[in-house]
């Protein structure tokens, strides 16, 4: 036997879970994803989401409603007569009509150890906060934001230099395996549910453009966590004057270092930058429109003298 599953997801993060459920023999009766968005080099071509593309390759019908306010869209969802909906980074808050639109409800793969980091950006926020561990959770969805009871949990350690991109890729695979296990248990009527703790709730707000600029007037540990949490996207940056014009330089990797001076001062020829407490060494950088380069290669093309103030 197998479950009739509606899959709901959008980015690359969701794709391994879709593939895992299909490989497990479940019947994926539909894939819901965000509508195609403008993209391409000029931003003129409509780009299908990674889930949209993966579902088409698997021969799964794809639906892209803007929302579920229209009763016709809600009825279409119900008409699939699915046992369960699996949701991984879909990108829409689901109304009650959808949460109750399958026989067994909706189960979400969420990239944190709930109730810590409910919300939109749990991977980046965990690193930026200096957390040493996070994980994946499968939870049964309810109307609140990531408030539903938890079914399964897998903890993942966050290394001292792990970036947001590296943690994303690790959790993406962990989440696929965990959801496959959860659906097997659900099919066997053996999936436990535990109400989330009321203490320890923290919200992972969406990353805003205003917080991506590096503030060297913070302790070095915080600066380092900020850089790696936002790497590779959207990317932490500082401003450097090049040929008389200010240019944003994205920093993709860093490491804690020693040194002392006014915050933002370049201390040596290895791009060690003074912070409020200690220093950070910038090890991988990228100019706008350029390739990501190690510090030595970056400095060969863009010299930055000791004593320069970065802002």
Residue ranges for the known binding site for (6S)-5,6,7,8-tetrahydrofolate are 112-115
Q: Are 11 and 33 within 8 A, CB to CB?
A: no
CA-wise closest residue to 13 among 158, 136, 149, 134: 136
- Per-residue CA distances from 78 to 56, 74, 103, 114, 214 (Å): 21, 6, 10, 29, 47
Residue ranges for the known binding site are 112-115
CA of residue 64 relative to chain centroid, distance:
21
Helices 15-23 and 50-57: crossing angle, nearest 10°? 20
Kind and range of the H or E run holding 250: strand 245-257
CA of residue 3 relative to chain centroid, distance:
28
Strand partners, 39: 45
């Amino acid at each position: 036997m197998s479950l009739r599953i509606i899959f709901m997801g959008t980015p690359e993060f969701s794709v391994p879970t879709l593939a895992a459920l299909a490989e497990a023999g479940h019947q994926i009766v539909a894939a819901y994803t965000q509508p195609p968005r403008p993209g391409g080099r000029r931003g003129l071509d409509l780009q299908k989401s990674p889930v949209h593309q993966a579902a088409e390759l698997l021969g799964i019908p794809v639906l892209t409603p803007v929302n579920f306010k229209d009763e016709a869209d809600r009825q279409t969802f119900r008409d699939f007569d699915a046992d369960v909906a699996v949701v991984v980074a879909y990108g829409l808050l689901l109304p009650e009509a959808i949460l109750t639109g399958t026989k067994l409800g909706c189960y979400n793969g969420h990239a944190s150890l709930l109730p810590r980091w409910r919300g939109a950006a749990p991977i980046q926020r965990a690193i930026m906060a200096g957390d040493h561990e996070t994980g994946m959770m499968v939870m049964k969805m309810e109307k609140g934001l990531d408030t539903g009871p938890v079914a399964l949990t897998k903890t993942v350690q966050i290394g001292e230099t792990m970036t947001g991109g590296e943690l994303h890729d690790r959790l993406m695979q962990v989440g696929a395996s965990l959801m496959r296990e959860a659906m097997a248990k659900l099919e066997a009527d053996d999936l436990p549910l535990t109400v989330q703790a009321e203490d320890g709730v923290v919200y992972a707000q969406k990353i805003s453009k205003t917080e991506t600029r590096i503030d060297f007037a913070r302790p070095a540990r915080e600066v380092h966590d900020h850089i790696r949490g936002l790497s590779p996207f959207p990317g932490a940056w500082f401003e450097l004057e090049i040929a008389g014009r200010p240019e944003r330089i994205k920093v993709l990797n860093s490491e804690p270092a020693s040194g002392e001076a006014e915050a933002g001062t370049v201390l040596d020829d290895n791009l060690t930058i003074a912070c409020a407490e200690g220093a950070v060494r910038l090890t991988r950088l990228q100019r706008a429109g350029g390739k990501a380069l190690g510090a030595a290669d970056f400095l060969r093309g863009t010299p930055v003298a000791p004593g320069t103030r970065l802002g």
